[in-house]
Structure 1
Amino acid sequence: MTTRRKFLAQAGLMSAGIMLAPQLLSAKSKNGVGLQLYSLRQQLPKDVKGVIAEVAKAGYQEVETFGYSKTNGFWGLSAKEFSELLKANNLKTPSGHYGLDEFFSTGKMDQFDAYIEAALATGQTYVIVPSLNHNLIKTAADFKTIAEKLNKAAEVLKTHGLKLGYHNHNFEWTETEGTTFYDTILNATDPKLVNMELDLYWVVRAGHDPIELFKKHPGRFKFVHVKDMDKTNNNLNTEIGTGTIDFKSIFAQAKLAGIEHYIVEQENYTNIDPYKSIAQSSGYIKNTLKV
């Protein structure tokens, strides 16, 4: 991966008076910084209203939802009630994580329809597949089948004015029969229909360079999950800017990637209060990365 020093040298900006390369301005987002609410999954069921207020206090402008169900809504609130809560805290939600395993495996629309209703009620634009049942993608033929179903799901969403996204972990790069699931869906889905939410932590943990993905598939990555890797234990996340991932170089390629939304996610906390953690990450992204 390109180091910060190499990046500045290539840009010809090594003078002491210049702290950041002008290309970093391309990371600037009109949408502000978002938080994947999974980061606070233990707190939300206990006090959803209080948690959302804390998210706003931590400096976020957007949230990405998860865990919606037709019976329990968003932590006991209906989609409409949750939307009003966000508005009361000056927050927006561009996207939500909604599992579509039922649709992919059986074609049934019951659950999918409920998710569409929730997305529309909260003003979301993107329904994002957070992961997949691994039994659905055992073979290269399975990869192609799911790619076709991603296209079909995106077509369904389009009729409602919504868009489809796919969020990765690292299993998507496991080689099977000479290919990988991620390569398959990038190549076999319609770029106009299927967008990618690139989780930068999982890409790096899988041994890949996000910038190379941007170069091969420009414009495909409307969202990035901004998640840093702990310096001593790669299995853990840490606050943005304190780990090993070179976000400056990655964000410098925001226009090439097509990034529109920067979503912080942290799955674990080590000796730090979660609210302090998310505030620290938000501050670093705004003040240092200039998003």
Structure 2
Amino acid sequence: MKKTVFSLCFATTIALAMTDSFAQKGKPLYTFPIGVESYTYRASFPKSVVATLDTIKALGITDMEGGAPKGMTGAEFKKLCDERGIKISATGSGYEQIVKDPMDAVNKAKELGASFVMVAWIPHQKGNFSLDNAKKAVEDFNRVGKVLKENGLTFCYHNHGYEFHPYEDGTLYDYIVKNTNPAYVSFEMDILWAQHGGADPVALLKKYGNRYKLMHLKDLKKGVKGDLTGGTPPENDVTLGDGQVNIPEIIRLAKKAGVKHYYIEDESNKEYEQMPKSIAYLKSLKE
């Protein structure tokens, strides 16, 4: 892993130099701490947690969405992150787990020092997300979100694309947003999965504004036509700015809406190559 960290540091230097080549006049558009969704390094954490966190630190990342790796407590993982100046602002929970025991999710989040807990998948038959699925999710999210709020945390639902099945004059995603209590339920927009599911992330931000508290920054390969499965091959996850998602406009609207944390999530198998370039791209954006 030492060689990997060295390579990453070298790649970071190159990427930062690339930022100058992107330079434009004006104030920086992206003004938030660089964040990462820990799933980006899913192949590295099992090999060495310490080396992976060193890699993340070398990129200048100071914000993370994630949980303790297998075999490590939340407190142990938080300590390693704290030592490297990385704050765990959000963590995830499985739908079944948080519905069964929301206080367990509360305790795990607090152990990590997280303020947000997100759920990224609603159980359903693949390719057939239904109104009944959405109604059950609304009921569960309102109940769970209330428990989290009473314990000083914010619950967020993370879209995955399948929610954009047509329903009445909109989609089942619209149904979920409109029927969840804003006092208890907020949202994390995954911009790739919104685009892949046939939605327009820009239009969603304009429509639902401050319901969004978190965001996954990802880009979908140009020419890829999405669907409602909530899945796409890893090669379709490309460096920010190289794909079909309108990232500059999304960030402008997200800032206006009050999104609190932005996490780069790279689901490709080329994260060591793409992450430095994605960071350089964000830093290059100007108002």
Please state which band the TM-score falls in when normalised by the shorter chain: 0.7 to 0.9
SS in structure 1 of the partner of residue 182 of structure 2: coil
Aligned residue number for residue 57 of structure 2: 56
Measured in 2, the distance between the counterparts of 1:208 and 1:97 equals 23
State the aligned residue count.
Answer: 255
1:7-65 deviation line (CA, Å, top 9, x unaligned): xxxxxxxxxxx94676x74x522xx0111111111111111111011011112111111
Distance 1:248 1:233, change over 3 A: same
Aligned residue number for residue 84 of structure 1: 79
- CA-atom RMSD in angstroms: 2.4
1:117 has 2:117 as partner: no
TM-score by length of 1: 0.80
Deviation at 1:195, TM superposition (A): 1.1
CA contact (8 A) 1:214 1:256 kept: no
Deviation at 1:129, TM superposition (A): 0.4
1:278 has 2:275 as partner: yes
Q: Which amino acid aligns with 2:77?
A: F
SS in structure 1 of the partner of residue 72 of structure 2: coil
1:181 has 2:169 as partner: no
Measured in 2, the distance between the counterparts of 1:138 and 1:253 equals 28
CA contact (8 A) 1:140 1:179 kept: no
SS in structure 2 of the partner of residue 169 of structure 1: coil
Measured in 2, the distance between the counterparts of 1:75 and 1:139 equals 33
Aligned residue number for residue 255 of structure 2: 255
Measured in 2, the distance between the counterparts of 1:264 and 1:133 equals 25
Deviation at 1:102, TM superposition (A): 4.2
Identify which of 103, 113, 131 aligns with 2:121.
131
Larger mean Cα displacement after TM superposition, 194-203 or 244-253: 244-253
CA contact (8 A) 1:58 1:275 kept: no
Q: Which amino acid aligns with 1:34?
A: G
Aligned residue number for residue 28 of structure 1: 31
Q: How does 1:132-151 map to 2 (within 5 A)?
A: 132-134=122-124, 138-151=129-142
Deviation at 1:277, TM superposition (A): 1.9
Q: Which structure dedicates a bigger proportion of its chain to helix?
A: 2
Q: Which amino acid aligns with 2:111?
A: A
Measured in 2, the distance between the counterparts of 1:102 and 1:76 equals 19
Measured in 2, the distance between the counterparts of 1:240 and 1:172 equals 24
Deviation at 1:209, TM superposition (A): 1.5
Measured in 1, the distance between the counterparts of 2:71 and 2:213 equals 30
Identify which of 70, 76, 88 aligns with 1:75.
70
TM-score by length of 2: 0.81
Could you tell me the percent identity over the aligned residues?
28
- Structure 1 spans left out of the alignment, 5+ residues: 1-17, 67-72
CA contact (8 A) 2:98 2:105 kept: no
CA contact (8 A) 2:74 2:108 kept: yes
Q: Which amino acid aligns with 2:139?
A: E
1:89-118 deviation line (CA, Å, top 9, x unaligned): 1100110111122454xxx32xx3332222
Deviation at 1:178, TM superposition (A): 6.6
Measured in 1, the distance between the counterparts of 2:144 and 2:25 equals 41
1:166 has 2:154 as partner: no
CA contact (8 A) 2:36 2:263 kept: yes
Aligned residue number for residue 246 of structure 1: 246
Identify which of 216, 222, 228 aligns with 2:213.
222
Aligned residue number for residue 194 of structure 1: 185
SS in structure 2 of the partner of residue 147 of structure 1: helix
CA contact (8 A) 2:98 2:104 kept: no
Measured in 2, the distance between the counterparts of 1:203 and 1:21 equals 29
1:155-185 deviation line (CA, Å, top 9, x unaligned): 1111221110011111010235776331111
Q: Which amino acid aligns with 1:49?
A: V
Deviation at 1:74, TM superposition (A): 2.3
SS in structure 2 of the partner of residue 217 of structure 1: helix
Distance 1:285 1:152, change over 3 A: same
Aligned residue number for residue 70 of structure 1: none
Q: Which amino acid aligns with 1:251?
A: I
